[in-house]
């Protein structure tokens, strides 16, 4: 058996089978042209591929053996990260308490099928910026592949916890990436208009203000664009699928006319008043409410709570009132689709139909804000409005048929989550994978062994 494992033809056969299976999975049969290289590596050995080794020397130096091991580890880890599974961490509270800040989790790429990278020429294990730098790109765009997803073991389901590339991260202000570029342009546009109104100047069109804002940013700030696979990774819950109709009334989400399926750890912000005494900190600690989440002014508290925790807190003898804090209908807020025709906010929005591949929608100046980003930024069409007529790729258009499926993502910490309410749909080509399980969880507010949340290690994500 040992001799068989060492046999060069056996090694070549195993490598060939694996290579052929990968080629079939990827679906690019031009890769078959690379099989002669495999044959030479294992059988003919005409080319000295491992150039860092001395040819013909059986016993290599320790340095060469280390180089061998490092190259193998980098290649193996890159393939695993690209096609199978990748580690992520939770940096913000947008998914609390379903996922906690400091959770380290594995994301399955095969759950929905791994994406072929748009930019295959990149530095190993770096996302969009070289390690130790703040501006240097970690990738080259000499090769830019179109979106393609390999076969997976399943499809996205409603309420899956999904990792995806940030849709509004296509354009960034270097050194000031949060809020995103598009939010900054809207804010600057509004400030220009407000300034003219205040000073009694003649008002211009919204487009004129927006064009000026873009020109100002282009001249005074460093602006970059990023390919889809190099945009920031976000993690949210997929609450609505392609073709679904969503509606939110005072924070209660409805999917296709039905109340959203209950999520136990979903949180809203509450205002709590006491009789003048303070809430026992131990009670809050027992409910896993951290100090950083609590706003306090005397006997008035504000904090995010799940429905169960709110009910438990309300029973305390010194709590005199508890109110869920919601944005009333019509309360102004910078939310999708950023149009005066849709006076929505984080708690009251819709009804809204999520775009579906092959679905055709009617276009008008009133409905265009709902679909503008999908048509232009995500599906790569040229979009313009001239004399109240909508032009797509230079042709007058009264309708549009979508090329991709889209999803609506929201955080479980509803009042502390930058999600689809603030930048719209997530296109299918932005989906990275499904959050599978937490392999480590560290509490930054504690030290030593107390820092480890032992009850969360190897916890499956639901």
The sign of the CA dihedral 127, 130, 133, 136 is: negative
pLDDT at 185: 96
> Mapping DSSP to helix (H, G, I), strand (E, B) and coil, where does residue 254 land?
strand
Task: State the average pLDDT over residues 181-195.
Answer: 95
The pLDDT-based confidence of 1 (bands split at 50, 70, 90) is low
Lowest mean pLDDT among 21-25, 57-61, 120-124: 57-61
CB 400 within 8 A of CB 359: no
DSSP 33: G
Tell me how far apart the alpha carbons of residues 34 and 31 are, in angstroms, rounded to a whole number.
Answer: 6
Count of beta carbons in the 10 Å neighbourhood of residue 168 = 21
The model's pTM is 0.91
Residue 332 scores a pLDDT above 90: no
pLDDT digits (tens, 9 = 90+) for 306-322: 999 999 999 999 999 99
Integer Rg of the chain from CA: 27
The b/e string for 393-411 (b: 16+ C-beta within 10 A; e otherwise) is: eeeeeeebebbbbbbbbbb
pLDDT at 45: 82
Residue 88 scores a pLDDT above 90: yes
Tell me how far apart the alpha carbons of residues 317 and 276 are, in angstroms, rounded to a whole number.
Answer: 11
The pLDDT-based confidence of 462 (bands split at 50, 70, 90) is confident
CB 415 within 8 A of CB 96: no
Tell me which H or E stretch contains 245.
Answer: strand 245-249
Q: So what's the architecture of 252-324 in CATH?
A: 2-Layer Sandwich (3.30)
Q: Where in the chain is the domain with CATH 3.30.70?
A: 252-324
> Average per-residue pLDDT in the chain?
91
Task: State the average pLDDT over residues 131-159.
Answer: 93
Residue 18 scores a pLDDT above 70: yes
Tell me how far CA of residue 383 lies from CA of 4, 225, 391, 396, 423, in angstroms: 63, 19, 6, 10, 19
The sign of the CA dihedral 314, 318, 320, 322 is: negative
Residue ranges of E strands in 136-244: 161-165, 171-173, 223-225, 233-240
Tell me how far apart the alpha carbons of residues 217 and 379 are, in angstroms, rounded to a whole number.
Answer: 25
Sheet architecture: strand order including 383-386: 383-386, 389-392, 395-396
Instruction: Count CA atoms within 13 Å of residue 412 on its CB side.
Output: 24
pLDDT digits (tens, 9 = 90+) for 362-399: 999 999 999 999 999 999 999 999 999 999 999 999 99
Task: State the average pLDDT over residues 174-180.
Answer: 92
Residue 431 scores a pLDDT above 80: yes
> Mapping DSSP to helix (H, G, I), strand (E, B) and coil, where does residue 129 land?
strand
Tell me how far apart the alpha carbons of residues 36 and 29 are, in angstroms, rounded to a whole number.
Answer: 14
Task: State the average pLDDT over residues 345-351.
Answer: 95
pLDDT digits (tens, 9 = 90+) for 245-299: 999 999 999 999 999 999 989 999 999 999 999 998 888 888 888 888 889 998 8
Lowest mean pLDDT among 32-36, 100-104, 136-140, 398-402: 32-36
Residue 455 scores a pLDDT above 80: yes
Residue 345 scores a pLDDT above 80: yes
The tokens for 233 are 């990774």
Tell me how far apart the alpha carbons of residues 317 and 335 are, in angstroms, rounded to a whole number.
Answer: 39
């Amino acid at each position: 058996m040992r001799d068989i494992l060492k046999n060069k033809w056996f090694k070549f056969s195993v490598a060939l089978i694996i290579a052929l299976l990968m080629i079939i999975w990827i679906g690019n049969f031009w890769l078959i042209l690379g099989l002669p290289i495999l044959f030479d590596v294992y059988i003919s050995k005409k080319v000295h591929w491992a150039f860092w080794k001395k040819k013909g020397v059986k016993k290599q130096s320790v340095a060469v053996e280390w180089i061998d091991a490092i190259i193998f580890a980098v290649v193996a880890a890159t393939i695993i990260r690209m096609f199978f599974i990748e580690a992520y961490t939770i940096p913000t509270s947008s998914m609390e308490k379903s996922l906690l800040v400091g959770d380290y989790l594995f994301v399955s790429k095969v759950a929905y099928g791994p994406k072929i990278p748009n930019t295959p020429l990149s530095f190993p294990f770096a996302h969009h910026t070289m390690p130790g730098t703040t501006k240097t790109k970690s990738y080259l765009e000499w090769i830019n592949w179109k979106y393609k997803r390999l076969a997976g073991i399943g499809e996205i389901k409603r309420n899956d916890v999904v990792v995806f590339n940030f849709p509004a991260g296509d354009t960034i202000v270097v050194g000031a990436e949060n809020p995103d570029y598009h939010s900054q342009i809207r804010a600057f546009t509004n400030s220009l208009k407000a300034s003219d109104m205040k000073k009694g100047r003649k008002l211009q069109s919204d487009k004129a203000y927006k064009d000026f804002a873009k020109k100002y940013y282009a001249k005074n700030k460093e602006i970059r664009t990023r390919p889809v696979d190099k945009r920031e990774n976000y993690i949210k819950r997929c609450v609505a699928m392609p073709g679904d109709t969503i509606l939110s009334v005072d924070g209660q989400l409805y999917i296709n006319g039905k109340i959203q399926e209950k999520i136990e750890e979903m949180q809203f912000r509450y205002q709590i008043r006491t009789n003048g005494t303070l809430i026992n900190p131990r009670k809050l600690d027992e409910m896993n409410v951290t100090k950083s989440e609590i706003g306090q002014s005397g006997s008035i508290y504000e904090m995010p709570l799940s429905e169960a925790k709110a009910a438990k807190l309300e029973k305390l003898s010194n709590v005199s009132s508890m109110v869920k804090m919601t944005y009333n209908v019509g309360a102004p807020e910078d939310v999708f689709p950023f149009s005066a025709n849709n006076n929505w906010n984080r708690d009251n929005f819709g009804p809204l139909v999520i775009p579906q591949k092959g679905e055709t929608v009617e276009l008008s100046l009133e409905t265009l804000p709902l679909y503008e980003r999908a048509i232009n930024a995500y599906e790569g069409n040229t979009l313009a409005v001239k004399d109240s007529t909508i032009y797509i790729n230079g042709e007058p258009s009264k309708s549009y048929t979508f090329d991709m499926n889209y999803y609506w993502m929201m955080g479980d910490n509803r009042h502390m989550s930058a999600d689809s309410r603030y930048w719209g749909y997530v296109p299918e080509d932005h989906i990275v994978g499904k959050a599978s399980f937490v392999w480590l969880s560290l509490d930054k507010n504690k030290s030593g062994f107390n820092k480890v949340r032992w009850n969360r290690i190897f916890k499956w994500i639901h």
